[in-house]
Amino acid sequence: METLGLAIDTTFDDTSVALLRGTRQVLSNKTLSQYKDHEAFGGVIPERASRRHLEVIHPLIQDALKEGGAAFDQLDWIAVSHKPGLLGSILVGLTVAKSLAFLLNRPLIGINHIEAHPYANFLGNSPLAQALANGQNPFPLLHLVAAGGHTLLIYQRDHFQWEIVGRSLDDAAGECVDKAAKMFGHPMPGGPVVDRLAMAHPPGDVAFPRPLLNDPGLDFSFSGLKTALRYHLEAHPQAPEGPTLAAYFQAVCDVLTAKTLRAARRLKVERITLSGGLCASQKLREEFRRAADQEGLELFVPPPALCTDNAAMVACLGAFRHQAGRHDSLALDGESNLLG
């Protein structure tokens, strides 16, 4: 009989709870986003985020159990993201997970949210989930995790064996896109609007920079791109929104695809995956599809809803950790830093 696990993620501004059978059958995956709560402040206020998590976490767990048709005493393990993110937010999910593990006398599994993102590619009937189910070894993999808080290239040898081989030295790619949308007056999250415009308009002829594109390293930098847009809008206040944002997003896509392919070549990896909120972008997915085909690489992309923050990916990694007996004690601490 396959195990039943519950996973919780409250690392940033989304509260998410998922129920997973085995390592890939998602019975429920419920996420409440806080964007609206923070809109008036122009950014996420950590104190408000923690309070909001606290208000919604219990009903959300009840919802997830109900939708998944399960009761507390049927759970075999509890997984929770305990890093990285906003510490006050993490502690809400972590405390609830610890209480459940203690009361139900089930193992607690601490998850690194970043390590979990690529596991969105191992759910359901996805090719990687099927490969594992058929006893094939899909590793090594190169993962691009592109979100609002992180832009990372991760080389993974096997479950639990991974290292960061490239990262943004300043803003994350998603943040750079959100800020561009904001300059045109769009609320958070700006990614979906920019993506829609980039699909609808050919990129205008503004020569936006491709930061670090010609640098041989695997790190990214996006803050200069954002500054270039600000200067462009100061000089051309009437710049048309569609073509300008399309040209801007093209620069983001060019850098992400070029660096990921360079990393794959250098590390001799034949399979790459995308995850993180920005990878919900249709435009970015198309660009990657084309680039991977040209390079002869296998590309794995989760459904858009599993790109943005969700507890199903946390549950998936949790299930593999449970299988491997990698449990944690109830003294598990929260960490705001990625590598802490």
Q: Which does 278 bind (CB under 5 to 8 A by kind): Zn ion, ligand KG4, none?
A: ligand KG4
Q: Determine, following the binding rule CB under 6 A, whether residue 18 of this chain makes contact with ligand KG4.
A: no
- 162 - beta bridge partners? 156
Question: CB-wise, 199 or 207, nearer to ligand KG4?
Answer: 199
Q: Which does 8 bind (CB under 5 to 8 A by kind): ligand KG4, Zn ion, none?
A: none
Q: Which position among 6, 280, 311, 315 is part of the footprint of ligand KG4 (CB under 6 A)?
A: 280
For residue 313, CA distances in Å to 9, 73, 225 come to 10, 22, 31
Closest separation between CB of residue 128 and ligand KG4, Å? Answer: 19
Residue with tokens 């690529």: 118
Q: What is the spatial distance between Cα 61 and Cα 7, in angstroms, rounded to a whole number?
A: 9
Question: CB-wise, 14 or 107, nearer to ligand KG4?
Answer: 14
Going along 191-286, which residue ranges are E strands? 271-275
Q: Which position among 12, 122, 220, 288 is part of the footprint of ligand KG4 (CB under 6 A)?
A: 12
Question: CB-wise, 219 or 309, nearer to Zn ion?
Answer: 309
Question: CB-wise, 239 or 274, nearer to Zn ion?
Answer: 274
The amino acid occupying position 263 is A
Binding residues among 180-239 for ligand KG4 as defined by CB under 6 A: 189-192, 195
HEC string for 49-61 = HHHHHHHHHHHHH
Q: Which position among 10, 151, 273, 308 is part of the footprint of ligand KG4 (CB under 6 A)?
A: 308
Question: CB-wise, 309 or 328, nearer to ligand KG4?
Answer: 309
Residue 218: count of CB within 10 angstroms of its CB: 18
Q: What is the dihedral of CA 225, 284, 291, 133, to 10 degrees?
A: 130
Closest separation between CB of residue 318 and ligand KG4, Å? Answer: 18
Judge whether 57 and 10 are in contact, CB under 8 Å. yes
Q: Which does 165 bind (CB under 5 to 8 A by kind): Zn ion, ligand KG4, none?
A: none
Candidates 49-57, 126-134, 143-151, 152-160; binding stretch for ligand KG4 (CB under 6 A): 143-151
Residue with tokens 């100061």: 234
Q: Cα–chain-centroid distance for residue 100? A: 25
Question: CB-wise, 29 or 308, nearer to ligand KG4?
Answer: 308
Binding mask 240-279 for ligand KG4 (x = CB under 6 A): ------------------------------------xxx-
Closest by alpha carbon to 22, among 319, 302, 317? 319
Closest by alpha carbon to 276, among 298, 293, 263, 260? 260
Q: Residue 9: helix, strand or coil by DSSP? A: strand
Question: CB-wise, 229 or 280, nearer to Zn ion?
Answer: 280
Q: Specify the DSSP class assigned to residue 122.
A: G
Give me the residues that bind Zn ion (CB under 5 A), please.
147, 309
Q: Which does 148 bind (CB under 5 to 8 A by kind): Zn ion, ligand KG4, none?
A: ligand KG4
- 158: burial class by Cβ within 10 Å (0-12, 13-18, 19+)? exposed
Positions that interact with ligand KG4 (CB under 6 A): 12, 147-149, 174, 177-178, 189-192, 195, 276-278, 280-281, 304, 308-309
